[in-house]
Structure 1
Amino acid sequence: MSDMKSVNFDDLLNKELENPEFRAEYEALEDEFTLAKEVMELRKSNNLTQKDLAKLAGTSQPAIARLESGNYKNLSLSFIRKVAEALGAIPEIHLKKAQ
């Protein structure tokens, strides 16, 4: 039997954010991972696996995995809409002035 300790992601993240170098890198990437986090949270709240969501959205499980990893290239608005619809959600797209 393993004596592995379970760690809450938010607790771990908050601890890591105390490091100024980590915080700067995290904040630079935060916008990219917001969509991934929202998809994961909605998928889990709907009791869906990645495979279930993929089937509902008419895509593949690896495509959902890439979306949830934040490692997506050439993400289309139509793909986001399909995933959102499968999750019972509505996508919101915003533009903000570059700093």
Structure 2
Amino acid sequence: MKSKTMVDFDQWLVRRLKSKKFKAAYEQADEDPYINVALQIIRLREENHLTQAQLAKRVKTSQQAIARMESLSYRGLTMDSLDRIARAMHKRVVIQFV
């Protein structure tokens, strides 16, 4: 089995911001809760030194499902999936209206 090198979130972000499409979506994170949540999932996974496959195993889903949830254009997030991800990393989901 190939081992994957973990890239920390900041390195990943710098690399991804080179894409005009990604940069435009990223700049909407404050206004778009889906983008904000996707970035939080990525950051939390990276802080826990997990690959998408490792997180998927904890959440009992596929790596592809985690990749979709981390996509800045994905709009299919559910409270159940967010709760499962949070619990897998010993966190909880908090929703606020500000």
TM-score, with structure 2 as normaliser: 0.65
Instruction: Determine which of 44, 69, 72 is the counterpart of 2:71.
Output: 69
Point out 4+ residue stretches in structure 1 off by more than 2 angstroms: 8-13, 25-32, 70-74
Instruction: Give the structure with the larger helix fraction.
Output: 1
- Structure possessing the higher relative contact order (Cα contacts under 8 Å, 6 or more residues apart): 2
CA separation of 1:70 and 1:12: change in aligned 2, threshold 3 A: closer
What is the aligned partner in structure 2 of residue 46 from structure 1? 48
2:24 matches 1:27: no
Unmatched segments (≥5 aa) in structure 2: 1-10
Percent identical residues: 32
What is the aligned partner in structure 1 of residue 96 from structure 2? 94
Code of the aligned partner of 1:60: S
Q: CA RMSD in A?
A: 2.8
TM-score, with structure 1 as normaliser: 0.64
